């Protein structure tokens, strides 16, 4: 595989996706192709039936190879899910000569010390994010390079993952004869695509509404200040529709994506949706209004939980850029308005920014 080609693979709770891009001379990524397929909930949240996951990964990679005419030998794997955990830690080093300026070597040495931090035996550090640097106990620094001092210290946000879940994920990829270049914290990868650095600096919340879960990541002063996962997503909405209207899950998903509203005030009782017979289920009709009422009830719960987590970060009032929504759940009609109504924060749908070059690959421009 060519050195300038980057391939990303994400094994989620509702889909497995792979994307290939080429690094350009101006620092952008030109997307060559993207393939995704519904998984059997075999991502980081589920470790059973790994052979099914392996088969799905192979299917996605083979389709991507056909679409791009690239032989894929290695991938960068996005890590997310309920087995991720974030904690705050502090690391420090003492320098031999306090009169020499602090260099990249010193910062790397400090990071290495952070990776040596004792964590639970069942966990592994996958990502560390410096929050603030201190030189001889003077803080408020985002970059200590060029300063002078004896003691270099930093507060870090440390992300760990359950080693059993991580091993299951790695095994699934390695069984396909693919090499893993790097494990990437999924919200960091998503933020690269949909957030400008200025927004991370002045404060923004990235909310990824997936199938079985919703990821919430708070950025401020250029780094992650808070991250959590709530175990509810778009699948819960689909399940509610299926139960309330006695339809099959496939029908419920179609009703949600094609006719659903996150705010029932936008729907009408006069608009009637006809549902054809499916299997043993007879045909029926439901109103758009009743469908929206069911959807809104569950979406309100999700948004209220997101709002509580944003408040838990302690910096809600500092987040000048509000909320950016991504994931399949962000494509539900009026979901932006629902978030603004409940959180009282300006909200927008996240689309690939200027770091991603225009591409004809299907689905790339979706949230």
> What CATH number has the domain bearing residue 137?
3.30.1490.110
173 in the same domain as 24: yes
Domain's final residue, options 143, 161, 179: 161
171 in the same domain as 237: no
Q: What is the pLDDT of residues 222-265, one digit of tens each?
A: 888 888 889 899 999 999 999 999 999 999 999 999 999 999 99
**What pLDDT is stored for residue 358 in this prediction?**
58
176 in the same domain as 157: no
CA distances from 10 to 43, 82, 110, 189, 318 (A): 9, 15, 30, 10, 31
Please identify every stretch of the chain with a pLDDT value under 50, giving residue numbers as ranges: 40-49
Residue 204 in domain:
no
170 in the same domain as 156: no
> What CATH number has the domain bearing residue 17?
3.30.420.40
269 in the same domain as 295: yes
Residues 17 and 36: beta-carbon distance below 8 Å: yes
Domain's final residue, options 161, 186, 214: 161
- Counted domains in the chain: 3
Q: What is the pTM of this model?
A: 0.82
The b-or-e profile of 14-45 (16+ CB within 10 A means b, else e) is bbbbbbbbbeeeeeebebbbbbbeebebbbbb
Query: What range defines the domain where residue 141 resides?
Result: 84-161
Phi/psi at 252 (nearest 5 deg)? -60, -40
148 in the same domain as 44: no
30 in the same domain as 12: yes
Residue 103 in domain:
yes
257 in the same domain as 139: no
Residue 224 in domain:
no
Distant-in-sequence, close-in-space partners of 11: CB < 8 Å, separation ≥ 6? 39, 42, 43, 44, 53, 57, 77, 78, 169, 172
47 in the same domain as 26: yes
Residue 206 in domain:
no
């Amino acid at each position: 595989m060519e050195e300038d080609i980057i391939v990303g693979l994400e094994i989620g709770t509702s889909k497995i996706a792979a994307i290939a891009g080429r690094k350009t001379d101006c620092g952008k990524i030109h997307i060559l192709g993207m393939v995704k397929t519904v998984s059997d909930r075999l991502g980081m949240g589920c470790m059973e039936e790994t052979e099914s996951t392996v088969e799905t990964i192979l299917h996605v990679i083979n389709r991507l190879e056909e679409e791009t005419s690239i032989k894929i030998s290695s991938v960068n794997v996005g890590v997310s899910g309920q087995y991720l955990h974030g904690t705050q830690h502090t690391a420090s080093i003492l320098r031999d000569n306090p009169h020499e300026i602090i260099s990249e070597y010193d910062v790397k040495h400090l990071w290495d010390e952070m990776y040596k931090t004792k964590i639970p035996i069942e966990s592994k550090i996958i990502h560390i994010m410096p929050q603030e640097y201190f030189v001889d106990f003077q803080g408020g620094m985002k970059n200590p390079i060029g300063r002078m001092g004896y003691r270099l210290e930093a507060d870090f946000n440390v992300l760990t993952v359950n080693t059993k879940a991580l091993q299951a994920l790695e095994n699934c990829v390695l069984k396909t004869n693919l090499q893993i270049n790097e494990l990437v914290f999924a919200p960091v990868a998503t933020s690269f695509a949909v957030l400008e650095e200025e927004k991370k600096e002045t404060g923004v919340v990235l909310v990824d509404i997936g199938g079985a879960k919703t990821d919430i990541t708070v950025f401020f002063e250029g780094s992650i200040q808070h991250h959590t996962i709530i175990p509810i997503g778009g699948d819960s909405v689909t399940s509610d529709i299926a139960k309330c209207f006695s339809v099959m899950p496939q029908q419920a998903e179609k009703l949600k994506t094609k006719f659903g509203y996150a705010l029932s005030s936008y729907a009408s009782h006069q608009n009637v949706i006809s549902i054809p017979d499916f299997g043993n289920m007879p045909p029926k009709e439901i109103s758009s209004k009743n469908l929206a009422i069911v959807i809104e009830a569950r979406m309100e719960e999700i948004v209220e939980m997101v709002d509580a987590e944003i408040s838990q970060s302690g910096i809600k009032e500092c987040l000048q850029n509000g909320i950016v929504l991504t994931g399949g759940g962000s494509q539900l009609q009026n979901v932006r308005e629902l978030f603004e109504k409940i959180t009282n924060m300006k909200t927008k749908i996240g689309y690939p920014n200027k770091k991603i070059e225009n591409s004809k690959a299907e689905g790339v421009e979706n949230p």
